[in-house]
């Protein structure tokens, strides 16, 4: 039977289906128990509260079809997963699907919508689709997009598809292209930035990323598509997928993304508002992948949102 979210007040016994097999026990529990700290999950495994087929296991154990997992009460709050979403969001998401088959779903994610629920976000894209398509036994994000970034988002409908697409991501087999509007004009038609990025959290609790020699490798190519003097429309190719990569690399180069409240230029953002820009101008435009099952090459494209197209028209007329 398929796994259900354990109730916080009692022990649950969950039988693993074929579609759930192959993942590590810690990752299975983290997915199952949204909002529970990793430390609580690992402690439960270490102390033997979590058992597989009545035996103790390590966090590296890979679950198999037919395994019966004992899941203790892990919840640290009474927060529960949403049980319904409003009709307008449901219609918006269904209208945003640009590709779907038995293996995967590709969404043109709207700006302002988080991909996952969080502390202050009750429902994200993945929770919404679990409610919209309750008949699906398996549905998971392949990758993430920032809340304010729009565009192509991959969602897997089976563990096989998820692992295949994630492997394509890790081995740089996916051609990821974005469209963005940058401050000013870069000094070359193509600018390649290779600067390591480090995540850290400031005193307010906000997560920030900065260029740091101690950080992880990050590589970005900016390709000029059109210049408007005060701003430049660029195509961006990502060679790595670090958090806020385009935003931090562009800001580091002196050409931050328009509408970026975190890493951007306040005066430039004010100026862009006069051209009708009310959001981050960053759009996941195109993904070149191989289908996870048939292996055929696919080019998936999410058109630039109408509101961003209008900003471009205003710049062209200025």
Per-residue DSSP letter, 174: S
Is 146 an active-site residue?
A: yes
Specify whether the backbone of 22 is left (phi greater than 0), alpha (psi in -120 to 50) or beta: left
Instruction: Give the other-Cβ count within 10 Å of 76's Cβ.
Output: 12
Alpha carbon distance 149, 107 (integer Å): 13
- The SS3 call for residue 307 is helix
For residues 109 and 128, the answer to whether their CB atoms sit within 8 Å is no
If you write DSSP's letter for every residue of 207-230 in order, what string do you get?
EEEEE-TTSB--EEEEEEEEE-SS
The residue to which tokens 């580091």 are assigned: 252
CB-based contacts of 86: which residues, under 8 Å, 6+ apart?
Answer: none
Per-residue DSSP letter, 238: E
Q: Residue 14 to residues 19, 131, 134, 165: CA-CA distances in angstroms?
A: 14, 21, 19, 27
CA angle 311, 315, 318 (to 5 degrees): 135
Work out whether strand 190-194 and strand 197-201 pair parallel, antiparallel, or are unpaired: unpaired
Exactly one of 67, 146, 148, 260 is catalytic; name it. Answer: 146
For residues 151 and 183, the answer to whether their CB atoms sit within 8 Å is no
Instruction: Give the other-Cβ count within 10 Å of 2's Cβ.
Output: 12
- The SS3 call for residue 17 is coil
Distance from the first to the final alpha carbon of the chain? 61
List residues with catalytic annotation: 146
């Amino acid at each position: 039977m398929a796994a259900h979210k354990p109730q916080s007040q009692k022990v649950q016994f969950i039988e693993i289906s074929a579609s759930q097999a192959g993942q590590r026990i810690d990752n299975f529990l983290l997915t199952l128990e949204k909002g529970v700290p990793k430390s609580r999950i690992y402690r439960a495994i270490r102390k033997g509260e979590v058992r597989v087929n009545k035996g103790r296991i390590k966090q590296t154990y890979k679950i198999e079809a037919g395994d019966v997992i004992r899941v203790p009460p892990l919840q640290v709050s009474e927060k529960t997963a949403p049980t319904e979403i409003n009709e307008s969001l449901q219609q918006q998401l269904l209208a945003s699907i640009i590709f779907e088959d038995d293996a995967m779903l590709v969404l043109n994610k709207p700006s302002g919508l988080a991909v996952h629920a969080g502390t202050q976000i009750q429902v994200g894209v993945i929770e919404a689709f679990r409610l919209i398509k309750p008949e699906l036994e398996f549905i998971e994000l392949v990758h993430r997009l920032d809340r304010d970034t729009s565009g192509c988002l991959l969602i897997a409908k089976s563990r096989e598809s998820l692992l295949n697409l994630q492997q394509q991501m890790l081995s740089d087999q996916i051609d990821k292209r974005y469209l963005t509007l940058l401050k000013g004009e870069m000094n070359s038609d193509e600018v390649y930035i290779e600067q390591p990025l480090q995540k850290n959290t400031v005193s307010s609790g906000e997560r920030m990323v900065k260029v740091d020699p101690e950080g992880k490798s990050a590589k970005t190519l900016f390709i000029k598509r059109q210049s408007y003097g005060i701003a430049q429309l660029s195509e961006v190719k990502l060679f790595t997928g670090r958090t806020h990569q385009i935003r931090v690399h562009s800001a580091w180069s002196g050409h931050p993304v328009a509408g970026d409240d975190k890493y951007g230029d306040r005066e430039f953002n004010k100026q862009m508002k006069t051209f009708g820009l009310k959001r981050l101008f960053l759009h996941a435009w195109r993904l070149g992948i191989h289908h996870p099952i048939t292996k055929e090459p696919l080019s998936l494209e999410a058109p630039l949102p109408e509101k961003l197209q209008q900003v471009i028209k205003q710049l062209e007329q200025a």
